[in-house]
């Protein structure tokens, strides 16, 4: 049985910023949307003066180095749509994260959602 950790942008940033080896110790999954979410968060941090532009770009580069499975196939998109509709949400962004977890669980895998693996 495989154990996967479904992560969001905040968790990815904590892994990046702490130089954690969580991506080498665990199987990490996230929707393809994660890349855009991390990009936006880093850009906001630079604009707000919380980090330098150089550091923001360095962290963005570190994201590309993470061992991370990004999901965004037809089944993930359909599951996101169903979840958002079922819960009456206005958009599917959060549902994409839940869909990945839901699909992995339906494959008989154990998925953990956590802050920092």
Question: What is the per-residue pLDDT across 21-42, written as a single tens digit (0 to 9) for each?
Answer: 998 888 898 999 999 999 999 9
pLDDT for the residue numbered 8: 93
pLDDT for the residue numbered 111: 43
The residue written with tokens 């630079």 in the block is 46
**Residues with Cβ < 8 Å from 89, sequence gap 6 or more?**
83, 95
pLDDT for the residue numbered 97: 84
pLDDT interval class at 103 (50, 70, 90): low
pLDDT mean across residues, the chain: 85
pLDDT interval class at 94 (50, 70, 90): confident
For 27, what's the count of Cα atoms within 13 Å in the CB-facing half-sphere?
11
Report the distance separating Cα 67 and Cα 22, nearest Å.
9
pLDDT for the residue numbered 117: 30
């Amino acid at each position: 049985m495989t154990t996967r950790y479904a992560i969001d942008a905040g968790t990815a940033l904590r892994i990046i910023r702490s130089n954690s080896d969580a991506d080498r110790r665990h199987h990490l999954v996230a929707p393809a949307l994660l890349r855009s979410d991390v990009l936006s968060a880093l850009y906001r941090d630079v604009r707000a003066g919380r980090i330098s532009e150089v550091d923001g770009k360095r962290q963005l580069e570190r994201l590309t180095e993470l061992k991370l499975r990004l999901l965004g196939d037809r089944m993930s998109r359909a599951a996101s749509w169903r979840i958002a509709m079922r819960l009456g949400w206005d958009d599917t962004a959060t549902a994409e994260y839940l869909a990945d977890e839901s699909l992995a669980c339906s494959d008989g895998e154990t998925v953990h959602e956590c802050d920092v693996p």
